[in-house]
Structure 1
Amino acid sequence: MKIFARSLLLVLFLAPLAWAADGDAPLATRPDGAAIASGHHLATEAGMEILAQGGNAFDAAVAVSSTLAVVEPISSGLGGGGFFLLHDARTGKELMLDARETAPAAATPEQFLDRDGELDRDRSVNGPWSAGIPGLPAALAKLAEEHGRLPLATSLAPAIRVASEGFPVYARMARGYASRREVMERYPGTREVYLRNGKPIAEGDIFRQPELAKTLKLLANKGFDGFYRGQNARLLLKGVKQAGGRWTAEELAGYQVKVREPITFDYRGWKITTASPPSSGGIALASMLQILEGWDLNAMDEARRTHLVVEAMRRAYRDRTFFLGDPDFVDIPQRVLTSGDYAQGLRATIHPEKATPSDLLSGKPTPLEDEETTHFSIIDAEGNRVGGTQTVNLLYGSGLIPAGTGVLLNNEMDDFALKPGTPNAFGVMGYEANAPKAGKRMLSSMTPTFMDNGQKVVVLGTPGGSRIITMVLLGILGYDAGLDAQQVAALPRYHHQWLPDTISAESGAFSAGVASQLRAMGHEVDLPGDSAEGGRGSSHVWGNLQTVEWDRKANVLRGGSDPRNPVGSAAVKAMAATP
C-alpha cells in the first residue's frame, strides 16, 4: 500500500494531554481535552470556538456543521441533509438524528422519465425537480434545543461571520464550479451568488454570501420557523416555482427530523455503533464485518485479505439493492440482515481463493466521486461524541439557489430508484423499496460510526457516494489492525458494490503484484488510468475521511484529517470538562 506523505493534522493548541500510563493505570473516565476533525479548517476552528465558550460536543456540532454549509457548498449546505450520530456521556445513550431530505408529493417516478420512458438524467440531477425538502436546518435547531448547552444563535455565530466576511475560494471549489457551470448559470439566484461582474469564482477569490448569512440569522433568531416558515419559506417556494418545480408550503413546514435507534453490533472486541436506515451503511457494515470476523485478516497476505474483503462487500451491496429503503415506508428485514447467523451463511458462500461472479453485470463504470458530501467527528472533554455526515448529493447539488436565500438546493432525488433497475449517478440500482413517494426519504450511504473496545473510543466517517460504506469499513479494519487516527485517515482505498462486478481502487491502493494476484483469482481490477489492462480508470483519490480517537488508557486524544484534502483539519485542545 502506498503511504501518503502529506499529513494535515492541524494541532491548534497542543497541551500535554497524557498522564503517566502503565499496565496498572485505571482507564480515564473523561478526556483531558477535546478533538475535532472536519473537512475545512474554518469549521474545525468554529467548533473549538464554541467549546471554549462553554458549549458541549452538540453545540460544537452545530457550529461545525453550519460552517461547513458555508465553506463547502460543493459538498453540503442548508439546502441539503445529513445524519448525526450522538453519544451522551452522562446517560450513555446513543441515537441518530435523521435529517435526510424528503420527496415532494409532485415528484412521482413518472416526472423523471423522458418521452421514451427512460430516466431523464438532466431532470434527476439538475434543477428544481432533483431537489428534496432540506433537512439540515431542522437538525441544527434540534441539536441545539434538545442536546446543546448554548443558544442556537451562539453556535451559529461563526457560520454567520464566515458567510458575511467571506473566505478564500480553494482549488476543488473552483474546479467543481467549472464542471457544473452550465447548470448553475441557468438560474438567476445562483448567478447572483457565484458570478462577479459576469465572471465565475476563481481560486483565491474572497467568497462572500450575504444572502446566506441573512438566512442563517433567521434560523438563529427563530429556529425551525426561521427556515421552514415565513419569509425564507416564501422565497424558497418562489424560486422553485420560477425554475419549473413544485413544492408546497405544507411540505416545508411539515418537515421533521426523525430520531432513529442506531445499529450496534460487535466485531473482534469492538462495539460498533453506526447509522440505521434510511442509511444503508449500518446494515452493510454489520453484514461485512460479521462475515469477515470468521478470518484473521491481520495474519493474511494483502491479496488474500483484499479478496475476502471484496467478497464481503459484494454480498452486502447486493442486499442493499433489494431490501433497503426508508423504514417509515418499507418493511426492512433488519434483524436478519444484521444477524451473525445470516453473516455466517454468507461467509460459507465465499471461496477462499476465487472470486464469486456478480449476476447480471450492468456494464456501467462506477462514476468518479470524491468531493461531494462531508463529514466531521467530535469528542468533547465530557466524553460526548458526534459523528456528522451531511450532503447536497452531487457537486453543488441541483445547481439552483432560490433568489434571496443564498441556499443551494440538493439533488437527492437521484438517490431514489426513479426507474427500477436503472443505476443512479453512483452506479447503484434500486427497486420498489427505494421508489419515491410523498414525504419518503431516499436511501443513503452516509455512515457516521463510533467504535469502542473499552480502552479506545473512535468517531469516524467520510464522504464518497456509494463508496462511503467501504471507506468506513477499511477505516474500522485499520483501527483494528492498530493504526492511529492519522494513519487511518490516510489509508488507500478500494471498493466493490456488486454491480458493476469490478474492484475499483484509487492510486497506490494495490501494487502491480497484488493487482495481478487478484486478477488471477477472477476479479476485474479497475486502476486509475489502467486502460492498457482493461480498466476504465478510477478516480485517483477518494473521499475525505475525518476521525478522532480517545485512548482511555493513556488519556490521549488524537485527530486524523484526510491528507487528500488540503483545507481539512483535525484539532486537539486541552480544556476542562464542565461539571
Structure 2
Amino acid sequence: MRLPSRGVVRIVMLLLVVAPAAAQDVVVPPRQAAIASANAQATDAGLEVLAAGGNAFDAAVAVSAALGLVEPESSGLGGGGFMLLHLPGEDGAPPRQVFIDARERAPAAAHRDMYLDAEGRVRPEASTNGALAAAIPGLPAGLVHLSERYGRLPLSASLAPAIRLAREGWTFGSKNHAMLGARREVLARSPAAAALFLPDGQVPEAGTVLRNPDYARTLELLAEHGADGFYRGDYARRLVAGVRAGGGIWSEEDLADYRVVEREPLVFDYRGYRLVTAPPPSSGGIALAAIFNILSGYALDTLSDTARIHLNVEAMRRAYRDRALYLGDPDFVQVPVAMLLDRNYAAGLRAGINLERATPSELLPGIESRPERPETTHFSIVDGHGNAVAVTQTVNLTFGNAFAVEGTGFVLNNQMDDFSVKPGTPNAFGLIGAEANAIESGKRPLSSMTPTFLIGEGRFAAIGTPGGSRIITMVLLGLQDLIDGGSAQSAADRPRYHHQYQPDVVSAEPGAFTAGQVAALEALGHRVSERESTWGNMQVVTWDQATGEVEAGSDVRWKSVGKGATSEGAAIYR
C-alpha cells in the first residue's frame, strides 16, 4: 500500500536540526566554476556549457548526458540517478537544497516472486542480465526536470556537447576497455548492444574513436519534445516493443506514468558542520547520519589511528545491519527514519561497542550477505554564482543488463536486482534486505548512492562516488578527511576500507592499513582482508566561502580518465 512520506520526512528534518552549524556573516561567491567528473570528455562538456552562460544545473545536464555516452559501463539514458542541488539565497534569503529522485521504477507487471523458480529458488542471472532485469529508466526525465526547473539555458544548448560527441566521435578509454572485457560475453547476446560496443565482435582498443548517432538522436528528441520525446509516442513504442521482444515486461503505460520526485534532503549536524544528503529510497544518507551520530559520542581526536578505525568499523557494522532490516521506497513502506536518526537510538547502538573488542556480526540479529562489485558514476559542480550540484547516476552493474533496443544508442539498467529479489538473499552487490525492499509494481529499489554536501566552518563541499555497497563508507571517509581539514583532492584520494555487517570482514584497499594497524585490528578480533585492487571513483569540489577559492578533486585511482577542473570567470553571471 502507498503511504504518504514527504510530510514525515519534513518532520524528521526538523527533528534532526539539534545543534545547527554556525552561521557565516559574509559568503564570498566562488571566484571560479569547478567540475569534477569521472571522464575528461564529460568535464569538458560541462565547462563548455558554463562558458556559454549556463549555471551549475545546465552544466550538470551536459556532464550527465556526456557520461552516458563516454562511460556507458556506469550510467546512461537507460538508467537513473539522484541529484542533490544547492541554490544560494536571493535577497537575504537562506540557501536551500533540493533532492531530485530520478531513480528507476519497477514495471507495473513486476511482482514479488518474479525471479524465483517453481521451488522458490532465485533464477541465476534473471535479475541481472537481459530485458527482464530492466526497471523503467529515470535519468531522461531527470535531465529534463533539472533543465526546465533550475537551468538558465534551453535543454538543447545543454545537450549540444553530448550530441556533438555522439555524432563526431568520442574516445574509448582505458576504463571503458577494462570494464567491457568483463561483460563481453553477455553484451554479445544482444545484437543491438554488440553493435554499439563490440565492433567486429571485438573489444575496442583504448584510443579508438566511436560514434553513436542513435544516442545523438535520442538526445535530440529530448531537446525537441522534453520528457515526452522519450516516454511517449513512437520512441516509447519502440522501446517497449524491443524490451518485450527480449523477454521483458514493460508497457507503454509504464513509460508514460514515470515521474521524477522532489524530496526533502536529509540534514544533520556533526562537529560544527551541516551535512545535506540523500533521503530514502537511498540508504546512504540514513547510514551516514547513523554512523556520525554513533561517532559523535567519542573524542576521536584523542584516540589512536587504530582506535578510530575500530570505531568506524563498528559504526559501519551497525548502520548496514539497520539498512538491511528497515529501508525501502518511502512511497510504499513506512521507513522508521526518525528512529534510525534519533541521537538516543545512536547512543543505544554506541553502548554495545567495546573499545577493546570487535563485535561479531552474528551477535547482531539479521541475515547474511556476500561481497559486492563497483559500478555507477558521480560528478560534482559549483558555479560562480554559488549554485552547486552533486549527482550520482547508474545503470547498476557494469553495462547494466547488457541489453539494448535497436536504434536507441544505450544499454538498459538491471536495477531490478537492487530489490530484495528474495528477502534474505543477497543481490549482486552483496547487500541483503527484508520485506521493506521487496519487489512491488511501480516501486523504486533501495540504493546506496549518496551525493552529499558538507557546509560549515566557512567551507562548502560536494562529494560522491560510485562503488555499490561501498559508496556509503567511501563518502564517510571522504567527509572525515574534509572535516579534518583536507582538500578536495585529498578527500578523493584517501585510502579506503569498508565493513557492511555481512560478510563479517574489514575490506581494505592496498596500502590502506600499515602492517601494525592490521595486526592491531586483528588483535581486537577483526578479520581484515587486504584486497589486490582499489575501488571507487570519487569526485569532489570545494568552495572556501571566506575567500571564494574553489578546488576540484578527481579520484587518483583513474587519474588518466577523470578530470577535475576550474574555469576562470565561467558562469559568473549577474
Partner of 2:21: none
2:246 corresponds to: 243
Pair 1:474 & 2:477 matched: yes
- 1:391 alignment partner, one of 388, 391, 394: 394
- Residue 46 of structure 2 corresponds to 47
The correspondence for 2:534, drawn from 532, 541, 552, is: 541
Equivalences for 1:58-73 in 2 at 5 Å?
A: 58-73=57-72
Deviation track 1:67-90 (CA, whole Å, cap 9, x = no partner) reads 111111010000000000011113
What is the CA–CA distance in structure 2 between the aligned matches of 1:418 and 1:198, rounded to whole Å? 33
CA positional deviation for 1:454: 4.1
Partners in 2 of 1:110 and 1:269 — Cα distance?
46
Alignment partner, residue 319 of structure 1: 322
Letter in structure 1 aligned against 2:552: G
Cα gap change, 1:220 to 1:511, in 2 (>3 Å): same
- Trace 1:150-169 onto structure 2 (pairs within 5 A): 150-169=153-172
Aligned-residue offset at 1:297: 2.2
Q: Which amino acid aligns with 1:374?
A: T
Q: Distance in 2 between matches of 1:44 and 1:105?
A: 37
- AA aligned to 1:74 is E
* Equivalent position amino acid for 1:84 in 2: M
- Separation (CA, whole Å) in 2 of partners of 1:331 and 1:520: 41
2:359 matched to which residue of 1?
356
SS of the residue aligned with 1:186?
coil
1:179 is the counterpart of 2:182: yes
- The residue type equivalent to 1:570 in the other structure is G
Q: Which residue of 1 aligns with 2:20?
A: none
The alpha-carbon deviation at position 175 of structure 1 amounts to 2.2
SS of 1:479 mapped into structure 2: helix
TM-score, normalised on structure 2? Answer: 0.92
- What secondary structure sits across from 1:112 in the alignment? coil
Deviations 1:405-435 (A, max 9, x none): 1121000100000101001111110111000
Match of 2:515 in 1: 512
Instruction: Give, in angstroms, the shift of residue 299 of structure 1.
Output: 3.1
Distance in 2 (alpha carbons) for counterparts of 1:324 and 1:378:
29
Secondary structure of the residue aligned to 1:200 is coil
CA distance in 2, matches of 1:291, 1:256: 36
Structure 2: which 5+ residue stretches go unaligned? 1-23
Q: C-alpha displacement at 1:239, in angstroms?
A: 1.1
Aligned residues with identical type, % of pairs = 52
Distance in 2, matches of 1:181 and 1:116, equals: 31
Task: Please state whether the residue corresponding to 1:542 is helix, strand or coil.
Answer: coil
Larger mean Cα displacement after TM superposition, 25-34 or 224-233 = 25-34
Comparing 258-267 with 100-109, greater Cα deviation is found at: 100-109
Count of aligned residue pairs for this structure pair: 543
1:509-548 deviations in Å (ceiling 9; x for gaps)? 111110111011011111125xxxxxxxxxx101000000
Q: Which runs of 5+ in 1 are unaligned?
A: 1-24, 530-539
SS at match of 1:110: coil
Counterpart-to-counterpart distance in 1, 2:378 and 2:282: 15
Structure 1 Cα separation of the partners of residues 299 and 235 of structure 2: 55
Moved more, 196-205 or 218-227: 196-205
| Aligned equivalents of 2:124, 2:445: Cα separation in 1 | 17
Corresponding residue for 1:266? 269
Q: Cα offset for 1:166?
A: 1.7
Q: In the TM superposition, what is the alpha-carbon distance from 1:330 to its structure 2 partner?
A: 0.6
Distance change in 2, residues 1:250/1:363 (3 Å): closer
Written as runs of structure 1 = structure 2, the 5 A alignment for 1:119-518 is 119-359=122-362, 365-367=370-372, 369-370=373-374, 372-518=375-521
* Displacement of 1:51: 0.9
| Matching residue of 1:34 | 33
Aligned residue number for residue 573 of structure 2: 578
1:154 is paired with a residue whose SS is helix
> For the Cα contact (< 8 Å) 1:461–1:547, is it kept in 2?
yes
Q: One-letter code of the match for 1:493?
A: R
On the 8 A contact 2:170/2:211 being kept in 1, the answer is: yes
For the Cα contact (< 8 Å) 1:377–1:388, is it kept in 2? yes
Superposed CA deviations along residues 31-50 of structure 1, whole A, max 9, x for unmatched, are: 11111100011111111111
* CA-CA distance at 1:113 after TM superposition: 1.0
SS in 1 for 2:177: helix
Q: Over residues 9-56 of structure 1, what are the superposed CA-to-partner deviations in whole Å (9 max), with x where a residue is unaligned?
A: xxxxxxxxxxxxxxxx98443111111100011111111111111111
Q: TM-score, normalised by structure 1?
A: 0.92
Give how far 1:362 is off: 6.7
Q: Does 1:569 align with 2:574?
A: no
